[in-house]
Each structure stands twice: as structure tokens, then as C-alpha cells.
Amino acid sequence: MTTRVGFVGLGNIGRPMALRLAAAEGIELTVYDVVPEPVAELVAAGARSAASVGALADSSDVVCVMVRDDDQVRTVAADVGDGAVLVVHSTVAPGTPAELEAGGSTVLDAPVSGGPMGAAEGTLAVMVGGSDEAFVLARPALDAMSSYVVHAGPLGAGTRMKLARNLMHFVAFTAATEAQRLAEACGLDLVELGRVVRHTDAITGGPGAIMHRDTTAPIVEGDFWRGVFEHVAALGEKDLGLAVELAEGLDVDVPLARLSLERLRKGLGLG
């Protein structure tokens, strides 16, 4: 069967996502953007162009939206109406998907993780909230653009999962700036430090390596994870303590490291 997909928003991530759709079997793609160049590229790749969002929606079963913000999503949703499933890939406020559905649209909130590189390679993760029926209808398009799709729950669940994921992402970025300041004060090569981080995170899984439990409740004695996380905590407290001591000697401020030293054990569920 062929799934008729419309795609609105051909920016840094939307354009490569749409190109994956254009190359996919079983997808009939129509695109719209206010900028003509990416539209022409998609047409050359086999898509059709639409003169408006409304015209695109009229020939689509599923309309994927990757625009800048909530207001632009609302504008697109108003033009799509109730004739197609609206799949919102933009990261929006938690209440926006329900607001759109209350306005008459059938909505999936389906933010993505993986950036332009993941979009180009088809390796995005897509986190979806919405009904089973809408999810099934949109699934062929989602699979064509990604390598990992999770139906996170009812409408809004995809957005909430994306916000939780990005909380970790940008807190980790801030921690990386502390590490860079410490390394710079030590006279180290920051570019090489970055290479080491990316190399080892690819092996260990980075922060996701501790995310296997289905609860954040304290870990009871005898639980398998108790021993694992006791080991993690012991290593973390040792290394964080040494890093903070090093930073103090170099007069480098590392507030996240201090906070992590204070909260690591409890955060792991060890009390």
C-alpha cells in the first residue's frame, strides 16, 4: 500500500527527513516550504510540490510538520484541518498537541532526536504521542525517516519524552563546559579531550548507560542494580572528588561537579 505523505518545513532537519521520504518505497510525497530552493531539491528527488499547505493536506493521509515554533505549528495545523493526521516533529510546549487536537485536528506529537546528521542518515529516534490508530497510519513515514520509533503513550507523551531527553542533553553540555575550563587550566588540548569523550561515549553509552531501570525509586537490598550502582557511585564519588580538588587548586569554578558529588548516590537510588 502507498502512504500519501505531506511534509511542511524543509529546514536543516526537515529537508533531509523529507529526502528520506522521497527515496522510500511505498511513500508518495508532497512538500511545501516558503523557501523555493529546498522545494526544488525535493522535486528533483521525486516529490511533488504544493502551492499551499491546504493543497498539500488535500492530497495527503499524513502531514509531517517540522517548523520553527508553536505559533508556526498552529498556523500549519489551521491550514491542514481535519483531513489528515498531523504529525508534529517540532519540539513544542507540552500542552500544544492537545490544543491542536481540541481545534479539530488528529494529532501525533513526534519530536525527533539525532539532529541533521541523524536526519540525513535515517538514524533519527522519533518519540510519538497519540492514538494507536493515528500511529499505525503514520508508521510507514516514521520508519522511512528513522531507525528507532517509540510510541511513548497518549497525545503529549512524545513531547514530554523529548523534553526529558533534552534536559539531559543540555545539562551535559553545561557539564562539558566545566570540564573544558578545567582541562584548559591544566594546559590540556581541548580538541583531543572532545575526541576522547566522543570515543568513549560511543563505547559505554554515555549518560544513557545508567538508564535501564523502570523506576527511580530507591533500590532495595538484594536487587541486582544495587551492586551495579554501588560500584558506579564509588567510582563517581572518587573521580568527582579528585576533579573538584584539582579545580580548587587551579581556581576553576565547577558548580555542577560539586552538585553531582552531592547528589549522585541519591540520584542513583542508593539513598
CATH label of the domain that carries residue 46: 3.40.50.720
* Residue 1 pLDDT: 85
The answer to whether 249 touches 173, Cβ cutoff 8 Å, is no
Q: What angle do CA 175, 200, 259 make, to 5 degrees?
A: 25
Q: How far apart are CA 111 and CA 66, in angstroms?
A: 9
Residue range(s) defining the domain that contains residue 260:
180-267
Cell of 216: 527511580
Q: Are residues 199 and 83 in the same domain?
A: no
Domain count of the chain? 2
Q: Please provide the average confidence, as pLDDT, over all residues in the chain.
A: 97
Give φ, ψ of 111 to 5 degrees: -65, 160
* Residue 166 pLDDT: 97
Is 168 domain-assigned? no
Q: Are residues 85 and 113 in the same domain?
A: yes
Stretches where the chain sits below pLDDT 70 are none
Q: Are residues 126 and 241 in the same domain?
A: no
- Whether the CA torsion 103, 105, 108, 111 is positive or negative: it is negative
Q: How far apart are CA 93 and CA 120, in angstroms?
A: 26
Q: Which runs of consecutive H residues, i.e. helices, occur in the chain?
A: 14-23, 36-44, 53-58, 70-80, 96-102, 115-121, 132-145, 157-185, 190-204, 224-250, 255-267
* Residue 59 pLDDT: 96
Q: What is the pLDDT of residues 250-266, one digit of tens each?
A: 999 999 999 999 999 99
* Residue 218 pLDDT: 97
* Residue 271 pLDDT: 83
* Residue 139 pLDDT: 98
Is 63 domain-assigned? yes
Is 170 domain-assigned? no
Q: Which residues are catalytic?
A: 162
Query: What is the percent of the chain with per-residue pLDDT over 70, rounded to a whole number?
Result: 100
* Residue 97 pLDDT: 98
Q: Are residues 102 and 14 in the same domain?
A: yes
Q: Are residues 10 and 70 in the same domain?
A: yes
* Residue 58 pLDDT: 97
Whole-prediction pTM: 0.94
Q: Are residues 206 and 156 in the same domain?
A: no
